[in-house]
Amino acid sequence: MPNYLAVFQNNMLATAQNRYVAKELMELSDKTEEYGIVLSGRDCQEIAEFRAAALAENERIEVGVGAVKRIIEEFCDSGYVNQNNFKETVEGLLECFYTIKSETDDKVSDDEAIEFLKYLFETEAGGDINKLYDSEAFDIFINGQGNGRSVRTEKNGKDREQEL
């Protein structure tokens, strides 16, 4: 028989954590507004929920707000983001960030990963998250920090696995 109390407590904890993260993200409003991006309470809550799902998917934990705050701070000044695409861009960058951290077994610091993502986003990817994630540079960065596991690569439209 399932332990409903434990499930309830876990859900309450997750909800409280998401509220805390959303509140912390709202505090970035002054900085993002300088670049024409208004973070609504709903945007912050959705980013917090996406973060929680991405952490679970990558079997990761973060204490506090984690990398999402730094990603927002780092990317809000990009010429490729605006009010209409900022939330989705942050979510895509979180996915890329956690992929880097997981695939390299945390050999890459948060700052190194975010700086790399910013560089690639602004140059080769031209502000396109899909191009960033599918880029050869993204795979090379992960492979250069390798951990012996396979990482997906896409070359000439065909998926293949490459040993790190």
* pLDDT tens track, the chain, 164 positions: 566 554 444 555 668 889 999 999 999 999 999 999 999 999 999 999 999 999 999 999 888 898 999 999 999 999 999 999 999 999 999 999 999 999 999 999 999 999 999 999 999 999 999 999 999 999 999 888 644 433 344 433 444 343 33
Calpha distance 84→101 (Å, rounded): 28
Burial profile 99-126: b = 16 or more Cβ within 10 angstroms, e = fewer: bbbbbbeeebebeebbebbbebbeeebe
Q: Which residues are CB-contacts of 102 (< 8 A; sequence separation ≥ 6)? A: 58, 59, 60
Could you tell me the maximum CA-CA distance found in the chain, to the nearest angstrom? 54
User: What does pTM read for this prediction?
Assistant: 0.80
CA atoms within 13 A on the CB side of 16: 6
Write down the domain spans for the chain: 4-163
Structure tokens at 120: 């690639």
- Contact criterion met (CB below 8 Å) for 18 and 48: yes
Calpha distance 157→164 (Å, rounded): 20
